Amino acid sequence: MVSFSPGDVPRTQVMGVVNVTPDSFSDGGLWLDEDAAVAHGLELLAAGADILDVGGESTRPGSQRPEQDEELRRVVPVIRRLAEHGAVVSVDTMRAEVAQAALDVGAQIVNDVSGGLADPDMCDVVARSGAPYILMHWRAHGAVMQQLATYDDVVREVRAELGSRVEAALAAGIGRDRLVVDPGLGFSKTADHNWTLLAHLNDLDDLGLPMVVGASRKAFLGMLMADAQGRPAPPLERDAATGAISVVAAQAGAWAVRVHDVAASVAAIRVVERMRAADLVRREGAGSAAREDQR
């Protein structure tokens, strides 16, 4: 089982995305076939992923939900096979029955972008399972979510709304030591909202919980990397910017980053950790020198 205690995790973890969907914004259809999805998951593991996040429903703006049976058909065989290979698998779903089926075949984590709002049975399923639960800030499904991207103070309101979901999870019997939060970049948020949240990740620490940051290939990075004509960079050309966000997240103490290009974020996090180690050595050296001067 994965630990979410900051003292037990030596560095920011890397969650590799395995989209078993025909319509995800960055790689929809590439891994819809079961064998292709499993092979992709194993490639991400080889690149250094700590966790594989397997999902069968696109949550991009404007997306339409698949039927539950179709979501089950997409993800359950893939999760079973990846778990058999020894992967730590999280299931990316808003449906309690899908979460239960995934846990039954070897998933260890439930990653619910709705934070329990989309399915009232989700928290009960997670509570009974004993699995860790990642709950994200969310206001509505993809078809309408951008209509709700209105805030007076996005950091304060996201923190408050996430806090209410945390309280609901605790009331359902999920242990606090099994909860992780996600600010939900891109979900009912404009590009400016996303940048403000990234600039104030430390303000979300008031919740006292580990955090996942999921910025990978999202539209606000495409806008940042637009060409001279103002055309956003396509998703596959946003990985360098995603790697930079992984540095920001690691420096802010995020428990994990959720990314498509695992290798780049593994490298980014290694840089952050090496710099922290160098800073610690320097501080310890300065402390030793100061103590010597006092003798």
What positions carry a catalytic annotation?
A: 218, 258
Taking the C-alpha atoms of residue 246 and residue 120, their distance in angstroms, rounded to an integer, is: 32
Q: How far apart are CA 137 and CA 180, in angstroms?
A: 11
What is the sign, positive or negative, of the torsion defined by CA atoms of 158, 170, 61, 243? positive
Question: What residues contact residue 101 under an 8 Å CB cut-off, 6+ apart?
Answer: 72, 76
One-letter-per-residue 3-state SS of 112-139: ECCCCCCCCCHHHHHHHHCCCEEEECCC
89-92 sheet: strands from edge to edge: 179-182, 133-136, 109-112, 89-92, 51-55, 13-19, 256-259, 212-213
3-state helix, strand, coil in the chain (%, to 5): 50, 10, 40
Tracing tokens 């699995």 back to the chain, one arrives at 131
Structure tokens at 126: 């997670």
Find residue 181's DSSP bridge partners. Answer: 135, 211
